[in-house]
Amino acid sequence: MTGELKQEDLEQVQKLCKEAGIVPVINPANEDLRMKELKRLGMLEKDLEKDRRYSSLTEVVTYLTGCTHCFINILGSTVQRCKVAYGFSKEEAESAPRDMPRDFSICQFSLNNPHQPLIIEDLLEDERTKPIVSLPDYPPIRFYAGSPLISSRGFSMGTLCVVDGVSKSLKHNQIEGLRLLADQIVSLIESEHDAKQPKESETKTDGEPAETSGRYYSSATILFADIVGFTSKVERLEPGELLATLDTFFRGFDKIVEKHKIRKVKTIGDAYMCVGGISEQRNSHAKNVCVAALDMLRFVEGVNLQQEVLGNERWELRIGIHSGPLIAGTSGNAFDIWGDAVNIASRMESSSEPGKVHISEKTKDYLEGVGQLTSRGEIKLKGKGVWSTFFLESLNS
């Protein structure tokens, strides 16, 4: 089974969509690679229903979200294939079709933003889904929440989703719980796949050059920090003094990062970059990074006290923080991170102010009320549109 519709069936589906006013999702630019990833893991053919672990996880999701039904759905290029469905009677489960044209599914819209949860509080009010749920034979559902199933290589395979017959909303910790369980499902699938593969030592040839390799993390927190007015300092200060001061800062930052169990990525000129949520996959990564940021500011202030005693000028640090999905791995022999969340964190830093920790609303959500924040209102981040951001003043113990 390929999981794809025949051409004549696809044309019929497209005709029905047009008549119903449904605007299907266009295949993403990396669709060929995405389908190769599905094939690599055998996702369209894999039978998850017989493994109690998957049905148990979908049951947990219904308890977590308070929804009636939960699904593990895999998205082909033209077909959505249901692998696990929880919340049905035995008779309903046996009679329900497991394949449906992707163009008639709700999960298809996750492909538009595959690294973020898709929450639609009222399907009859959303322009994307209203024509679909209004179809005569469509199940009577009003609410949908789905977390993408992202492989370790960063490709969207489908969703872990819940539906309900009434409109509702989910809290941040419920959405996070859905994401964590989606990660657990992917981890189980890939562990089973990897266990069947030849060991690397049996396939790798001696002398092969190091390649870029990485792993997807659905949630992490990135920090960028840089010295304010560094260019002008380069023009005024002796090279030896400049490098010695930078070295003092970066050595101090390294100790702070190690203390809070987050990972240094690299330094770029006068900029320092680190990430939480890679070494330890816990929801505390945002708090750990924010605590480190405040410690960095205090460390710089301590150095400035010494600088003033010596009659030297002050140094100012500005920091930007954002939380989101990313790829972490090695390029050559160096650790690095990639993804839109990394770019946003960089924008947060460049639009910060001296002596301030500038955080995004997503990072604020992960703090879950433990921080003292000052709203900055809506600001424009270069190339990223308008964002609601905050200055972090302190954290509760």
Instruction: Give the containing element (helix H, strand E) for 254.
Output: helix 239-259
Return the closest-CA partner of residue 71 out of 91, 90, 93, 102. Answer: 93
The structure's pTM equals 0.84
Q: What proportion of the chain, given as a percentage, has pLDDT over 70?
A: 94
Are 96 and 217 part of one and the same domain? no
Are 309 and 267 part of one and the same domain? yes
Give the torsion sign (CA, 344, 346, 349, 350): negative
Q: Please give the pLDDT value at position 224.
A: 97
- Using CB atoms within 10 Å of the CB of residue 271, give its burial: 0 to 12 exposed, 13 to 18 middle, 19+ buried: middle
Residues 43 and 49: beta-carbon distance below 8 Å: no
Each residue of 249-272: pLDDT tens digit? Answer: 999 999 999 999 999 999 988 899
Which residues partner with 280 through β-bridges? none
Is it the case that residue 101 has pLDDT exceeding 80?
yes
Each residue of 11-65: pLDDT tens digit? Answer: 898 999 999 999 999 988 889 999 999 999 999 999 998 899 999 999 999 999 9
DSSP character string of 72-128: EEEE-SSEEEEEEEES--HHHHHHS-SEEEGGG-SGGGGGGSTTS-EEES-TTTSTT
Are 245 and 171 part of one and the same domain? no
3-state class (DSSP) for residue 367: helix
Are 169 and 244 part of one and the same domain? no
Each residue of 282-331: pLDDT tens digit? Answer: 678 999 999 999 999 999 999 889 878 877 778 899 999 999 999 999 87
CA distance 293 to 254: 12
Q: Considering only residues 202 and 163, tell me which one the structure prediction assigns the higher pLDDT.
A: 163
CA distance 153 to 211: 14
Task: Give the CATH number, domain containing residue 378.
Answer: 3.30.70.1230
Are 22 and 143 part of one and the same domain? yes
CA distance 299 to 150: 38
**Least confident residue range of 7-11, 190-194, 334-338:** 7-11
Q: Is residue 48 part of a domain?
A: yes
Q: Which range marks the domain in which residue 231 is found?
A: 213-395
Are 174 and 240 part of one and the same domain? no
Return the closest-CA partner of residue 96 out of 133, 63, 49. Answer: 49
CA distance 112 to 100: 19
Q: What is the mean pLDDT of the chain?
A: 90
Are 128 and 261 part of one and the same domain? no
3-state class (DSSP) for residue 267: strand
Task: Give the CATH number, domain containing residue 36.
Answer: 3.30.450.40
Q: Please give the pLDDT value at position 118.
A: 97
Q: Is residue 200 part of a domain?
A: no
In the DSSP assignment, the letter for residue 211 is -
Are 85 and 177 part of one and the same domain? yes
Q: Is residue 203 part of a domain?
A: no
Residues 347 and 383: beta-carbon distance below 8 Å: yes
Q: Is residue 13 part of a domain?
A: yes
Is it the case that residue 66 has pLDDT exceeding 50?
yes
Number of structural domains in the chain: 2
Who contacts 35 (Cβ-Cβ below 8 Å, separation ≥6)? 76, 77
Q: Please give the pLDDT value at position 281.
A: 62
Are 234 and 166 part of one and the same domain? no
Which residues partner with 374 through β-bridges? 391
Q: Is residue 239 part of a domain?
A: yes
**Least confident residue range of 112-116, 133-137, 337-341, 393-397:** 393-397
